[in-house]
Amino acid sequence: MKDFFSKLLNGMSIGIVVALIPNALLGEILKLLIPHFPALQHLLDITIIIMSLLPVLIGVMVGMTFKLTSIQTACVGIATMVGGGSIQKTAEGLFALNGIGIVINTGFTAALTVLFVKLFGDRLKAYSILLLPALSILVPGMIGYITLPYVKTSTGLIGIGIAHITTLQPVVMGMIISIVFCLLILSPLSTVGVATVISLSGIGSGAANLGIVAAGVGLAIASYKANSLGTALAHLLGSPKIQMRNFFMKPKIAIPMFITAAVLGGLAGLLNVQGTPYSAGFGLSGLVGPLNYMNLTHDGWTTKNISIMISIFFIIPILLNLTLIYVFSRKLKMIKSEDYKLNFD
């Protein structure tokens, strides 16, 4: 069971990064260039479409992680798309993109489909190519489709809980929300989904964003020795979710990041670091968090605001994480670089 869960999370992590990195790298840059070069709008649209292919990519990556056959892997991909929720039917009968869907239900559907194709795949023999795709949609795919609204509701309940936290004193609120989002970004739950459900904005959004910054910066630093530089940067430019498997296997690896998140969240309350429901779930990816903070400040791009932005989004997260990772690895011997090893083979 542990091996199954480990492979599932590893496949999900790879799919998430592959789907999100194009928009993370290009999105904000393209938005700045489009007013001057309108043709680039097509490229931005493509990166958004690719984000909505997240369920398919998760399904395919999970299938490859379990070393399924080509047909079985494709079946996991299409069934996961059915249960992922990234495409919805409008009242006019058209099909529209619906963000990245519900990641936790995507993972659930992928797991069911892997079990299904392993159970029935060999028994169908020569008829696999004819029957397995349809059966994968009819059984695990439709189960995921049925559970989708219930899982979406549970995500909303988490959002409601976070909404109550926003009524607390700003510094305390910032610390709690920052820790919560640092945890959420390492789970199958969508930080963007939770933030948008409750329209998280203001200091709450800023603190949430900094919680993700704490996770991304910390995991990039901690994982550098065990992985390549490109993989380490993927925690920042893509998503810290690529460490989901390692986090669930060894939760203690995120302790330095949680402490950093608490400090940054408190500073968000003190310095009035704000954000929008959209920016709350992105961290440093695409520089969405820092840019939204600068755009929402009262007096704009002043020297003071730029200094605060650079300090709280870059300098402090780096220094805090470096110090805490050193303490927990060298002094307390609680973590080691191998704990952050990612296997993309």
Verify that 105 and 129 share a domain, yes or no. yes
Q: Specify if 92 maps to a domain.
A: yes
Spatial contact of 264 and 318, defined as CB atoms under 8 Å apart: no
Verify that 117 and 223 share a domain, yes or no. no
* 18-44 average pLDDT score: 87
Q: Specify if 302 maps to a domain.
A: yes
**Degrees to nearest 5, angle at CA 222 with 263 and 244:** 85
Strands 95-97 and 87-89: antiparallel
Task: Please state, in angstroms and as integers, the Cα–Cα distance from residue 6 to each residue in 16, 155, 234, 244, following that order.
Answer: 15, 23, 20, 9
Report which of 271, 156, 282 is spatially closest to residue 202, judged by C-alpha positions. Answer: 271
* Domain boundary, last residue among 156, 181, 198: 156
Residue 60 has pLDDT above 90, yes or no: yes
Verify that 251 and 328 share a domain, yes or no. yes
Alpha-carbon span 287 to 42, nearest angstrom:
21
Is residue 181 classed as helix, strand or coil in its secondary structure? helix
Instruction: Sort 98 into a burial class: Cβ within 10 Å, 0-12 / 13-18 / 19+.
Output: middle
pLDDT bin (cut points 50, 70, 90) of residue 86 is confident
Verify that 140 and 115 share a domain, yes or no. yes
Verify that 14 and 83 share a domain, yes or no. yes
Alpha-carbon span 127 to 161, nearest angstrom:
49
pLDDT bin (cut points 50, 70, 90) of residue 219 is very high
Q: Where are the alpha helices (DSSP H) in 240-332?
A: 244-249, 255-271, 288-296, 303-310, 316-326
Alpha-carbon span 269 to 171, nearest angstrom:
4
**Domains contained in the chain, number:** 2
List beta partners, residue 202. Answer: 275
Q: Which residue has the higher pLDDT, 127 or 71?
A: 71
Q: What is the mean pLDDT of the chain?
A: 88
Alpha-carbon span 265 to 259, nearest angstrom:
10
Verify that 152 and 195 share a domain, yes or no. no
Model pLDDT, residue 87: 86
- Residue with token string 């990166």: 47
Q: Specify if 93 maps to a domain.
A: yes
* Domain boundary, last residue among 105, 121, 156: 156
Q: Beta-carbon neighbour count of residue 338 at 10 Å?
A: 10
Amino acid letter, 64 = M
* 321-333 average pLDDT score: 95
Q: Specify if 161 maps to a domain.
A: no
Q: What is the pLDDT of residues 255-307, one digit of tens each?
A: 999 999 999 999 999 998 988 877 787 788 778 888 888 888 888 888 899 99
Q: What is the pLDDT of residues 158-187, one digit of tens each?
A: 777 887 887 788 899 999 999 999 999 998
Alpha-carbon span 211 to 200, nearest angstrom:
14
Buried b (16+ CB within 10 A) or exposed e, 159-196: beebeebbeeebbebbbbbbbbbbbbbbebbbbbbbbb
* 211-239 average pLDDT score: 89
Model pLDDT, residue 14: 86
What is the Rg, in whole angstroms, of the alpha carbon atoms belonging to the chain? Answer: 20
Model pLDDT, residue 236: 84
* 91-120 average pLDDT score: 88
Least confident segment among 53-57, 160-164, 248-252: 160-164
Alpha-carbon span 132 to 119, nearest angstrom:
11
Residue 21 has pLDDT above 80, yes or no: yes
Model pLDDT, residue 239: 80
Verify that 173 and 150 share a domain, yes or no. no
Verify that 105 and 183 share a domain, yes or no. no
Q: Beta-carbon neighbour count of residue 135 at 10 Å?
A: 19
Model pLDDT, residue 306: 92
* 92-111 average pLDDT score: 87
Verify that 82 and 229 share a domain, yes or no. no
Model pLDDT, residue 77: 95
* Domain boundary, last residue among 121, 138, 156: 156
Spatial contact of 209 and 283, defined as CB atoms under 8 Å apart: yes
Model pLDDT, residue 345: 62
Model pLDDT, residue 229: 86
Residues spanned by the domain of 180: 166-345
Verify that 152 and 228 share a domain, yes or no. no
Verify that 122 and 182 share a domain, yes or no. no
Alpha carbons within 13 angstroms on the beta-carbon side of residue 234 total 22
Spatial contact of 77 and 60, defined as CB atoms under 8 Å apart: yes
Verify that 96 and 4 share a domain, yes or no. yes
